[in-house]
């Protein structure tokens, strides 16, 4: 009972401070009431990347209460009524085959430190229950999603380690192919397909993610990968920040036939606010974003929709959605368009909570299954920055061939040992 009382008080204070009243905008009043009852869960925010770009992750030099160079700060989070956020642990494709794992671990670390520095605002979260608990305490549940399969360096052990550090989704690719999956640029024709979707190791990865209880994020992949994962996965999938292809035919968006399959799989598409994915142009409005919500609801139903704003990861945002504080505008617009309270609550957070609970259920059902420890074939990842220790019959990771002098010394020592043993 107490959390509901706290939420009601918080709502009253927010309405009072913002000057919004039902007489001025009954849809906004209703939107804020629904947001006080159901957590807004956003699928993708790149604030951690901004912390690296602008401050090299020196969080001690940053005050998130006053930071003004990002779409996201604590006042904006509170005004936007952000109940839960998947913070993106993103590093660029340029790190692939180099230091992607280290840099990703540093992004994971900065999310942990952000929660530790601002415990009155953030609660680190790894489960559906954590999201609910944080919402009841009027804190923003803070989850981690790793954006790009290159971050695990083709290693199931690295995937498992990141899960233990709190990562709850992996975007299979970013904007480069990995040694086991094709990225969305393949569908534009600007890059060649390397795997016709997923390689055999990529399919191993999907099975292991199901076993771990890690959400599979299909933003940034080809349509072939989308369909292969939808065929394979025992758990629902997500698109953490993608919109509707029929409204804006950009290859980062989701076509109708895939939307229908997401519905069958009981997954979720979390709508991206980037202008280029909203209108396929440099300009857009909040109403244009609502068009994507309407279309996805029409094709797949209100049960597959969520919010995935991509704040701090994009350079252009719609008029009326300039930063995290403006998200209630979308909620009010959906109500203005005739969405029911239950449909809005589904999109706000109930859909994502359902998906995460089902992923957790699949994980629990597979608890007796051993981790997959079969590594990717060495020839699929061989490069100048990678050793081959542990791979049989691969000379690069084994002892190097001995020179003539070394061979002579070895034979001499062996002969001496043989004499000594007699």
Q: For residue 191, indicate whether it is catalytic.
A: no
Burial of 240 (0-12, 13-18, 19+ CB in 10 A): buried
Q: Where are the alpha helices (DSSP H) in 233-379?
A: 256-265, 275-278, 286-300, 328-336, 341-345, 351-365
Of 150, 195, 220, 295, catalytic: 220
Catalytic position from the list 147, 291, 294, 303: 147
∠ CA 206-50-316, rounded to 5°: 90
Name the active-site residue from 71, 150, 174, 250.
174
Active-site pick, 71, 150, 195, 241: 241
- Contact assessment for residue 276 and residue 313, using Cβ atoms and an 8 Å cutoff: no
**How many other C-beta atoms lie within 10 A of the C-beta of residue 190?**
9
- The verdict on whether 372 is a catalytic residue reads no
What gap in Å lies between CA 153 and CA 87, rounded to an integer? 21
* 123 vs 233: CA distance, rounded Å: 30
Can 112 be counted among the known catalytic residues? no
Measured distance CA(90)–CA(405) in Å, rounded = 50
Could you give phi then psi for residue 283, rounded to 5 degrees?
-120, 150
220 in active site: yes
Active site residue 217: no
Of the candidates 130, 208, 310, 312, the residue annotated as catalytic is 310
Nearest alpha-carbon partner for 19 in 27, 29, 8, 10 = 29
Tokens coding 88: 């993106």
27 is catalytic: no
Q: Between the CA of residue 328 and those of 250, 294, 337, what are the distances in Å?
A: 26, 16, 14
| Catalytic residue check, 182 | no
What are the residue numbers of the active site? 44, 46, 147, 174, 220, 241, 310
């Amino acid at each position: 009972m107490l959390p509901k009382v706290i939420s009601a008080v918080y709502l009253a204070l927010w309405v009072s401070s913002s000057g919004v009243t039902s007489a001025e905008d009954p849809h906004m009043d209703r939107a804020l009431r629904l947001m006080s009852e159901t957590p807004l869960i956003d699928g993708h925010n790149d604030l951690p990347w901004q912390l690296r770009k602008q401050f090299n992750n020196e969080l001690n030099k940053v005050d998130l209460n006053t930071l003004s160079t990002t779409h996201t700060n604590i006042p904006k989070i509170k005004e936007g009524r952000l109940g839960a956020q998947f913070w993106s642990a993103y590093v660029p494709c340029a790190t692939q085959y180099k230091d992607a794992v280290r840099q990703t671990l540093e992004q994971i670390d900065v999310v942990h430190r952000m929660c530790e520095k601002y415990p009155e605002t953030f609660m680190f979260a790894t489960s559906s229950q954590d999201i609910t608990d944080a919402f009841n305490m009027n804190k923003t549940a803070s989850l981690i999603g790793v954006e790009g399969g290159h971050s695990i360096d083709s290693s199931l052990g690295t995937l498992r380690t990141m899960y233990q550090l709190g990562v709850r989704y992996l975007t299979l690719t970013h904007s480069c192919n990995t040694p086991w999956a094709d990225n969305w640029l393949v569908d534009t024709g600007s890059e060649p397909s390397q795997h016709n979707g997923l390689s055999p190791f990529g399919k191993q990865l999907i099975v292991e993610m199901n076993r771990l209880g890690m959400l599979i994020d299909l933003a940034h992949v080809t349509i072939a990968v989308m369909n292969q994962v939808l065929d394979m996965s025992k758990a629902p999938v997500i698109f953490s920040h993608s919109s509707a292809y029929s409204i804006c035919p950009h290859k980062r968006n989701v076509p109708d036939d895939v939307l229908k399959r997401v519905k069958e799989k009981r997954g979720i598409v979390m709508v991206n606010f980037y202008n280029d994915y909203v209108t396929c142009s440099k300009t857009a409005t909040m109403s244009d974003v609502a068009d994507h919500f309407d279309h996805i609801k029409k094709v797949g139903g209100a049960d597959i929709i969520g919010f995935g704003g991509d704040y701090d990861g994009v350079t252009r945002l719609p008029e009326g959605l300039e930063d995290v504080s403006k998200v209630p505008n979308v909620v009010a617009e959906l109500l203005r368009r005739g969405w029911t309270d239950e449909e809005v609550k589904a999109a706000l957070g109930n859909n994502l909570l359902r998906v995460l609970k089902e992923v957790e259920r699949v994980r629990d059902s597979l608890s007796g299954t051993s981790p997959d420890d079969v590594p990717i074939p060495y020839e699929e990842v061989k490069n100048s920055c990678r050793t081959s220790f542990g791979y049989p019959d691969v000379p690069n990771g084994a002892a190097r061939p001995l020179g003539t002098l070394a061979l002579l010394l070895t034979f001499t020592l062996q002969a001496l040992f043989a004499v000594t043993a007699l």
